[in-house]
Each structure stands twice: as C-alpha cells, then as structure tokens.
Structure 1
Amino acid sequence: MSYSGTSIYFAIASLISCIPALAGIIARWYAYKWTGILLYFCSIVFLFLSVFFYVSFRLVKHGTPFLLELLDKLNRVLQPVVSKIANTKVVGPIISVIVKANFFAWFMILLLSDQVMRALVTRLVGHHASQRNYSIVNAVDPQFPLFDKLLDENASREGHAKKFNPKRQSRPEYSQSIAYTLAVASKLAYEDVGLVRHELEKDGFDVKRTFLPLGFKNACAYIIEKDDNIFLVFRGTNPMNIQNFVTDFNIGMTEIRSPSGVSMGRVHKGFWEAMGEPDRSPTTTGQHTPPQRGATLQIELNAASLQRTVVSTVQAAIDIGKFTVNELISHVSDPIDNSWIGYDRDVRHHSLYAQAEEWIMALIGHQNHLHPTDDEAVELNDYPSTRHPSSPRRKQLYIAGHSLGGALATVFLAKMLQSESPLLNHFGGLYTYGQPKIGDAEFTRAFYPEFSNKVFHHAYNNDLVARVPPFFGYHTPPGTLVFIDSAYSVTLYPPHPHTNEPVPVRPISYIHLSGLLNANVIRRLSQESWLRVTFRLLFPFFLNDHFPSDYVNSLRKGTLNWVIEGEEGSHGGTSKDDEESAVGMSSTSISMETKATRRHF
C-alpha cells in the first residue's frame, strides 16, 4: 500500500469510526446515557481494528514468503502425527469429544447471551405488554399488528384489471392482505412463545384450541388457526443460536426422490435435515406410526429381600451412569435448543414435519389418521376438536417464514409433495420473506404449476440473503418472485408460462445509492426508531434490507403491481440496471397496477 493509499485508508477508517460516535451523541441527546457510552466504545474499537488490520496487512505482505515456507514445513511435520492420532482408538475420540464439547460450551454461552441481549434491548425499548423481553431482531420495530383494515377492504373488492388467457398463463393466487399478515406472523416467530400467544390472542386467533409451538433440534415453528385458515409459521435464524448458523452453512446438497423413485432434484442438506422426516411411510395412507419417543430411563427397584435390594440398587446405579454418559455425549455432539418450547419437552426425536402434520390434520378434522397414545396427546397439548360442523368453507393451510424460516417453509411443502400428504388438498399458499436458495433447477421444477401458482417468495430491495448461495448449482426458489423496491413498489414476476421456470431476483448493485444514501430510505428515517437508525449506521445496506420489519412495512404501505410474461400484445421488457429494477427478463412482459387481490380473510 503506497503512502497515498495509506492516507486514504486511514481517512476512510476515521470517517467510518465517527459514525457510531455520532449515533452515540444522538442517544445521549435522547437521554440514553449508557447506549451513548457503548457507541463511543464501538468507535474506539473500530479505530483500533483499523490500525490492527493495517499492521497485519503490512506484516503479511512482507512476511508472506517466510510464512508460507513455515506453514509448509509445519504441515509436513504434523501430518503423519495427526493421522496416527486420528486412527487411535482412545486418543483420537477423546480429542474429538473435546472439540465438540468446546463447540457445545460456546453454543450454550450464546443461548444464555440471547436472554441477556433481550433484557438489554428491553431496557432501551421497554417491556412488551405480556412483560416479555423483545428479541434483538424486532427491537427496532416492536409492533405486531397482524391485520390492516385498508388491505382487508381492498381484498374484499376482488376483481381483475385484465382478462388472462388460461391456456397461456394461470394467474398466481396472490393476496397482499394474506402476504402482510403472514409477514407479521413470521416476524412474530422470533419472539418468546408467551409473547407470540399474547399477540395472536389479541388479534382474535383461536389460541386456546389451536395454538401449538413446535421445536425440533434447533428449528422452531408454531401453528395457529383463524376463520378456517391454518397458519404454519417457521422461525428464522436466531442471531444468538450458533447451531442455526451451522444449519445455514451446511450448504452441501442431498438428492431427494418421490415415493415412486423419481428424482426431485438436490436440496440444501442443512435445511432438509432440519425439518426431519415423516413418522409414517410416504406410500401408506390412512395409517400412522407413533413417533419415536425421547430417550427415557425407567428404574425398577426390588426390595423383596436383602439380596434383591442390593442387586437392583447396583444395577440401577449402573443404568443411571450409562444413561447420563450417553445423553451427555449426545447433547455435546448434536446440541439442541429447548428455549422455544420449554426444557421439559423432547425436541430431538419427534421431527418438525411429523409434529406439524399431525396437529394440522387434527385441526382439519382428519383425526382418523391419528392414533396417539395418552402421553403423546399430552405432549402435543391434547389434539384439538374436529372442525365445527357449521364451518362454511374448506379449511386452508398457509405456510410462511422469514430467512431460515422461509427455507424451512419451502422444505415443508417439498416434503408434503414427496410424501403425498393429505394436506396437499388443503394447501392455500406458501409465502416466504428473504429466503435463501434451497435447491437446484430440478428441485424447482418438482413444484408443478398447480402448486407453484400458490408459492410466493418475497425479496426486499438489496436483501443479500435472498440471493445466496450463488454457487454449487443452487437455483431460484420455486413459484412467483415478489420483488419490493426501496419505494415500496410490490411487483409480481410469475414463472414462465410454458416451462414454469421461476424468474430470478436481480443481482445486488454496489455502485448505486443504497441504504442511508437512498432517497426513499432517507424520507422514512423520521418515522423509524432511533435504534433502527443506529442499525442502519452500523450494518451495511444489504443486511439492513433483510430485517423482517421492512417486509412488513412495505407490504402494508406498498403498491401492488403485476408483471405477466408471455401475454399477447405485450411490449418488450428490459430491466433497468439499478436498485429499483427487480429482475433481468429475457422474455416480453406487461405491467399493470391493481389493488385487487385473489383471496382474502
């Protein structure tokens, strides 16, 4: 780095390090003393890191040849030693356990830190009405209105601004009203169960009879019903749950097949395994195999005689020892997160898919498929009563989630298709927000049109997560792309009418005005909380655009547009190469504004 380059580097570093300090001044202005002090400290830390990275760069630049030679020699010396240790029967496994234990310790520390962060955030934004603490994800906008009257009124005035040719394209069954409600429900999933119950009950959901929180290893979800609409909502990545990140970054792909053996493509291994498998054979209908129970230990002591007392006691002690060691090893090698549904519930052995399918089937009224034992009924809060005889219409299942939750929601629908679940007859729609890519092109084609017309993946402006992974053959998620630009213009891009090929979201542009330099964002700053503004200062624009609050606000205030490909008489559509353009489209298109929606509550 030249002298002039060094000067520019430190000038930029100094400028960026001043941003938290300015935010600290704002916090002090609003009488948040300790927040201001924390932001001042962040400025100092950033400046220190800038110097550290510069010094490290200089050392690496001039010491690289020596460093490479040293590492090569070290590798030659250690390679045979490591191989011998790994192949030993005692030392290798012990070292492996130590490494896993270290990971488990950090996992537990982060889970505890989640509660600490919730308490800290609550000190800044206040308690929720349920006296629960807010998550760090939603503290920037701790509001959860699940319904909007204006959207519901627009939905009730159902109509079409254009006649569609059913031979060429069937219109996606999209509802902005439902999309908004499910976006809020997905945002709500980041909170504690008590807070979720409070908000759902406040908005008229049948919490007492139909609400069920679900957990499997580190994946979480909940089910709720209102007016014959059943919602299955998955939680996104908890920033304080390292195991969620392990799931996210397990990007190897695994091949899946239909019951008849036909390939359904390859899918993200971490997401697929996080859902678990059905607890029934996918080719069997009308039958149900009870789920595998958690690891339990039953001790029987016999005091019929002195000898039997001693023998049974010793045997019980041995069994307890074996049980303790085996379960501790299990928790270290594959840590679980009980914090969502409670520490007395087994979240390892009853898959998320199986739990959700059982409960939804019971809500629909298909209890003839279920044969739970008394213990299982207690574990699932007792199955709800069947559908009311006076119910005027068929119950509909809507699946939703933000980020990791959106990926899990898509995987759930894929497992429904793979296992030919009876729930497919009640499928109303899949709405995801900021979901990553989860499979290859063949996996996307497995969602045939009658289902993909009900599948909608939302991407807000420059949300980075909606564009990853960009390699290893990952393809655009199935269904209709719902792109939302910074002006809150909501545009639908259905799949190709002939090939059912989904439209990809445009790449992120780093050379246009984004984040705090975007005019639309600047205009809305006065309506945002000081904490949201602080996050905009601290995080890059492509991470700020991933917050669930932006999806909620844009769907509530945005204007809905349709972009229909392949219509006769349409004009050539070419994308603008800036952040307001949604996608690059090679085919013709037509765009029209409509306030009508296809389905409503």
Structure 2
Amino acid sequence: MSTALSSETLPTWPTPIKQRGLAVGASDSGHTKDSRAAVNTQKDEEKQALPEILLRPWQQGIENAGQPLTQTAARWQARIAAYARTSFLSAYAAFVDNTLVALLQALRLDDLFRKATPWLEDRLAALTGTWHRMADGRKLSYSLVNNTSPDFSIPRQYSAPLVLEEGAAELSNAKGAAAGYRPELAHFLSLCMKLVYEKEEVMQDTVETKWGLRYHKYFHTGTETFIAPEPEGGGATAFVPRTRAALLGSPHALVLVFRGSEPTNLINLRSSGRISMTERKGLGRVHDGFYGALFHDDNESGVLFDEIVKAIEAADPEGTKALYVTGHSLGAALSLLFAQVAACRKPAIADRIAAIYGFAPPRVGDAEFARHVSAAFCTTSSPGPNRAFRVCHGADIICRLPPRMLQYADAGQEVFVTSTGRVLFDPQEVKRWHNIEGWGFIPLYLYKVVAGVFDKREKFLRSLYRLFLLVTFPGLTDHWPADYEGKLRKALIREVEGKSGHTAVL
C-alpha cells in the first residue's frame, strides 16, 4: 500500500537525510506519475526553503561574476573611503580625549576651566537675555550646553504625567516587556537628558513647576577637580570619575537620567577617553571609563549603582512603577550600562525598565555585551517590543566611537534622526542615510546653520557655535543635545499634524 505525500504532511524546512530516505523508501513500486510528481515538487520546495545564509554566497558569486569590473572597483573604493573617513575622525577624537586632556591637566588648567564656567555662563545669559526665573524671583543662568537653546517647554501635544502613564499602561499590557518606541516619550526623555545639564535648582524648579512631576534625588560622585589629597602612605591619587544623575517621578513611573560630558570639565572627558575594555562577569567586555563612572567607590557617595538602586526602591517600595532610563553622550552610555548591569545583578529593577533611550550614545562594550543587551531588551531575542534604543543624529561622530576596529559593537535598536528631521528605523534606510550624511556633510551642515538662524527656539549664538565646531571639531557638530531634542520635537508635531489634519504650533 502506497503512502500519500502532501504539503500538509511534509515539513517546509529541509528534512534530515535519514528521514527523507524513510519517507521515500516507505512508498512501494506502485507509485503513479502523480506520486512521483509530488515527490519532485516536495524536493523543489525543500530546495527553495534552504536558509538564505546557505544560498546567498552562491548567488552573490554568480552576480558578482557578471558585474563589470568598474562597478566592483567603485564599490570597494567607496568602502575604503568610508573606512578611512571614520578611522581619521576616530583617531582625531582619541587624540583630543587622551593627549590634549592630559596636557591641560598637567598645566592645571582644569581648575581654571571649572572656576571660569559659572562666570562665563552668567556673561552669556546677560548677553543673550536667557535666564531661568525661579518662583522666588531669582534669576539663574543656564549651562553652556543649553544657553543657546534654553527652551524646556513641553509641546501641547502631550503632558509629562500623561505620557508616563501611557507608557506604564503599555508595560502592564505587554507580555514580559515594555512599550516600544513612541514619539511623545522619545521627545520627553530628550528634554530630560537636556535638562540634567543644568544646576540642581533649575532642574527641580522645571520638573515640579513646569512639568508637574516630582523631583526625587540628585546623584553625584567624584570631586570638582583633579587636585585631591594624596592617599595615606603615599602613592598616586586615585582618579575619581565625576558622574551626575537625577531621579524624577510621576504617580505611574520613574525616570532615571544621566548627565553627559560637560564641555569644560576635563574629568568627564578623561572618563570617556579611557577606551580600554575589561571582562565583567555576566556583561562581556565593557569600556573601563564608563564602568568606572558607574561603579567607582569614593568616601562621600559610595558606589553610584548601589545608590541609584536604593533610591529607586525608596521612591517605589511596592515595585509597581515603570522605570525609564535615559541620557546623552556619556549619559547615554551609562544608561545602557546601568540597565544591563541591573538585568544581570538586580533582575527586580530590570523588570521595571520600560524603555532605555540613549541619545548620541558611544559604544559601551564588545559583541558579547551587545548580545546580552539584545537578549534582555530587544525584540530580536526577547519577547515583546524593543526597550533599548540608540538615538543617533546626522554625522555625530560620538555614535561611532570607540571604533569597531577596537572590537566595540553597537547595542540596542538604532533610531536615526536625519539632518532634515526624519526619524528612521529600517536598517537599510539607516545605512543609506549614514552614507548621505557622511558624503554630504558640508552642504547638510551649512543648511542647518542657515536654518538655525530662522529658528525661533535657537539663539544666534548657536549658529556661531556651529561654525566654530565645523572648523575645530567637525565630528561634534551634530552632537549638541538641543539638536536631538529640537528634531524630535518637530518630528512629533509633524506626526500629530498628519493624524489630525490640523496645523500645530511649534
């Protein structure tokens, strides 16, 4: 008696050889032509079902063989040029971070910068008329980072408590994961990463008075200067990273935000410049500077990671609130590192993490670290939507440092914000725009300089900053926190306009 073969009984993926032999051998000699046709059809289906990774090399070999030599040469020329450009900018940034910073430290100019910063901030505030007015009538200057764009207002398209409440609701409804990318949440967290550069008084006043949230705690480690008393018994003074973070809250969620590198603080730059990696248990190899900024133990504040965990548990003793982690630049690296360490060592905290938004993030660790992040927070490995996002803008060189040639790898889902304000997710589209931003850097940047002059939310001084950075540090021209926040604000408003059909006010 013959066995009938059908598409319902046969697997779609290639059947092991022994199983295929049994299936065919089980049929007797009384097969009809239709039966043999069915077998041949099944073999064709199995061949078509072969994994793409097995077929791709043969297909590429055939396609490449038919390509003109000029096309192949042009493709390799483009690859070599892109590699050379990235390598040059990486080497330039490494020189600034390590050599120049060490020279300024040796000349004791770090203290001079630190003392001159408040004076310079006050002079710029007086020059531009940008002061933060407290409820008691006092005027405080904004930081050098935000003086050119000191607007911390929330657009009328959402409110801070509401956007955090919606995020908490999505977290509770999803299976074992938190909400994916949302424009309102992305913009609000970009405001948080921008605000954390300000004085603590300005932060607390903005959070409680303008945003309607609660200001829980401000974290700080390290000293204000490199100059520190020598340890007992002699020897070199231990380097203490200067790390800043804040914890905000609503009835439904908490927001942990890390501050990035301050432009006149050499301690921050030295932390970012320590690009060696060390194997950490359960993490893979991790950037020594970033790890030290989160785990250095000093006499005043102890281990920052432990302090933050205690503050989160105190702010939410029942463990019911969603937790959002964010930061810019150095702060973006620390936000991702904090989340992954929590996933490894404090699962109760990691389970609360609804999303991680790192703006202008440098690379944190090697491929193993990236795999751990993917398994814990990305949809490629874990159930539910993505929770870890790397938000990159234009030709920001920090997003490409430390370079891959040092075995660093990108971690998290990339969200690319173009110079024209588009927000992209598709890997192929992102790759295409990386090339556009790289090769069209000068015209795109000049476009942003001109557009900034007519932008009501930017001061004229910002255009001067852009031109200065274009000449001195071209890799940092798209790194400004205000660029990220401003682009995401406009993208959010355009999306709301498209849905409602009404014109929204920026």
TM-score for both structures, normalised by structure 2: 0.62
Q: Which amino acid aligns with 2:118?
A: Q
**1:215 and 2:220 matched:** yes
How far has the Cα of 1:134 moved from its partner?
1.2
Q: Which residue of 387, 408, 424 corresponds with 1:491?
A: 424
Query: Are 1:416 and 2:342 an aligned pair?
Result: yes
Deviation per residue, 1:211-246 (Å, 9 max, x gap):
200012201000010132101000010111111111
Please, which of 269, 272, 279 is the counterpart of residue 248 of structure 1? 272
Q: The residue matched to 1:431 in structure 2 has which SS? A: strand
Supply the distance in 2 between the matched residues of 1:236 and 1:139 (Cα, whole angstroms).
Answer: 16
CA distance 1:515–1:402, change in 2 (3 Å): farther
Partner-residue secondary structure (3-state), 1:232: strand
**Is 1:135 paired with 2:135?**
no
How far did residue 152 of structure 1 move? 6.1
* Aligned counterparts of 1:529 and 1:265: Cα–Cα separation in 2: 44
Residue of structure 2 in register with 1:529 after alignment: 459
Q: Is the 8 A contact 1:232 1:398 kept in 2?
A: yes
For structure 1, the 5+ residue unaligned runs are 1-98, 159-165, 259-263, 278-291, 295-345, 367-386, 388-393, 496-501, 563-592, 597-601
Instruction: In structure 1, give the amino acid aligned to 2:132.
Output: H
Tell me the equivalent position of 2:488. Answer: 555
CA contact (8 A) 1:223 1:230 kept: yes
Partner residue of 1:116?
119
Please name the residue that 1:470 is paired with: 403
Partner Cα separation in structure 1 for residue 115 and residue 357 of structure 2: 32
Tell me the alpha carbon deviations over residues 107-149 of structure 1, each in whole angstroms, 9 at most, x when there is no partner.
322211222221222222232113222111111101112x323
Superposition RMSD on alpha carbons, in Å? 3.5
1:257 corresponding residue in structure 2: 281
**1:555 and 1:101, CA in 2 relative to 1: closer, same or farther beyond 3 A?**
closer
Instruction: Verify the 8 A CA contact 1:113 1:240 in the aligned structure 2.
Output: no
Task: Go from structure 1 to structure 2 and tell me whether the alpha carbon gap of 1:559 and 1:132 turns closer, same or farther (over 3 Å shift).
Answer: closer
Equivalent residue letter for 2:185: I
Q: Give aligned pairs, total.
A: 350
Secondary structure of 1:150's counterpart equals coil
Instruction: Pick one of 359, 374, 393 that aligns with 2:311.
Output: 359
Distance change (3 Å), C-alpha of 1:364 and 1:494: farther
Q: In 2, distance between residues paired with 1:123 and 1:515?
A: 33
| Residue 503 to residue 355, structure 1, CA distance change in 2 (3 Å) | farther
CA contact 2:362–2:402 (8 Å) conserved in 1: yes
Quote how far apart the aligned CAs of 1:538 are.
1.4
Give yes or no for contact 2:395–2:478 (8 Å, CA) kept in 1.
yes
Indicate if the aligned counterparts of 2:395 and 2:434 stay in contact, CA closer than 8 A. Answer: no
Query: What is the percentage of aligned positions where both structures have the same residue?
Result: 26
**Is the 8 Å Cα contact of residues 467 and 505 (structure 1) preserved in structure 2?**
no
Three-state SS of the structure 1 residue aligned to 2:486 is helix
State the shift of 1:206 in Å: 4.0
1:433-472 counterparts in 2 under 5 A?
Answer: 433-452=359-378, 453-472=386-405
One-letter code aligned to 2:307: Q
The answer for the alignment partner of 1:321 in structure 2 is none
CA contact (8 A) 2:395 2:441 kept: no
1:529 Cα deviation after fit: 1.4
Tell me how far 1:408 sits from its aligned partner: 0.9
Instruction: Determine the structure 2 residue equivalent to 1:340.
Output: none
**After the TM superposition, which residues 61-80 of structure 1 pair with which residues of structure 2 at under 5 Å, given as runs?**
none
* Equivalent of residue 192 in structure 1, options 169, 179, 199: 199
Q: Could you tell me whether the CA contact under 8 Å between 2:244 and 2:259 is conserved in 1?
A: yes
Q: Is the 8 A contact 2:449 2:463 kept in 1?
A: no
Q: What secondary structure sits across from 1:483 in the alignment? A: strand
How far did 1:459 drift? 0.5
Deviation at 1:519, TM superposition (A): 4.0
**Partner Cα distance (2:426, 2:416) in 1:** 8
User: After superposition, what is the alpha-carbon deviation per residue over 1:15-56, rounded to whole angstroms, capped at 9, x for unaligned?
Assistant: xxxxxxxxxxxxxxxxxxxxxxxxxxxxxxxxxxxxxxxxxx
Please give the alpha-carbon distance, in whole angstroms, between the structure 2 residues aligned to 1:175 and 1:425. Answer: 19
What does 1:34-433 correspond to in 2, within 5 Å? 103=106, 105-126=108-129, 127-130=131-134, 131-145=139-153, 147-150=154-157, 173-207=180-214, 210-217=215-222, 218-258=242-282, 264-276=283-295, 294=299, 346-347=300-301, 350-366=302-318, 394-433=320-359
SS of 1:430's equivalent? strand
SS at match of 2:219: strand
Tell me, in whole angstroms, the C-alpha distance in 2 between the residues paired with 1:365 and 1:204: 23
Q: 1:490 to 1:511 in 2, by over 3 A?
A: closer
Give the Cα separation in 2 of the matches to 1:427 and 1:503.
Answer: 29
The whole-number CA distance in structure 2 between the counterparts of 1:102 and 1:543 is 22
Q: Secondary structure at the match of 2:261?
A: coil
Given that 1:402 and 1:434 are in contact with CA atoms closer than 8 Å, whether structure 2 keeps it comes out as yes
1:554 to 1:253, Cα distance in 2 relative to 1, 3 A: same
2:270 maps to a residue whose letter is V
User: Match of 1:446, SS?
Assistant: helix
Q: 1:450 to 1:269 in 2, by over 3 A?
A: closer
Greater fraction helix: 2
The one-letter amino acid paired with 2:248 is I
- Residues 545/365 of structure 1: CA separation in 2 closer, same or farther (3 Å cut): same
Distance 1:101 1:245, change over 3 A: closer
User: Counterparts of 1:505 and 1:254 in 2: how far apart (Å)?
Assistant: 33
Structure 1 residue 465: Cα displacement? 0.9
Letter in 2 for 1:243: I
Indicate the residue corresponding to 1:12 in structure 2. none
Are residues 257 and 481 of structure 1, via their aligned partners in 2, closer, same or farther at CA, if it must alter by over 3 Å?
Answer: same
1:514 aligns with 2:466: no
| Amino acid aligned to 1:214 | F
Q: Secondary structure at the match of 2:218?
A: strand
Letter in 2 for 1:417: A
For CA contacts below 8 A with separation 6 or more, give which structure has more relative contact order: 1
Q: Distance in 2 between matches of 1:355 and 1:104?
A: 34
CA distance in 2, matches of 1:102, 1:485: 36
Contact 2:191 / 2:485 at 8 angstroms: preserved in 1? Answer: yes
Query: Aligned to 1:462, what secondary structure does the other structure show?
Result: coil
Contact persistence 2:220–2:245 (CA under 8 A): yes
Change (3 A) 1:123 1:424: same
Aligned counterparts of 1:525 and 1:101: Cα–Cα separation in 2 = 34
TM-score (norm 1): 0.53
Whether contact under 8 Å (1:490, 1:561) holds in the other structure is no
Q: CA 1:144–1:517 in structure 2 vs 1: closer, same or farther (change >3 Å)?
A: closer
Following TM superposition, by how much is the alpha carbon of 1:476 offset from its aligned partner in structure 2, in angstroms?
A: 3.8
2:260 partner SS: coil
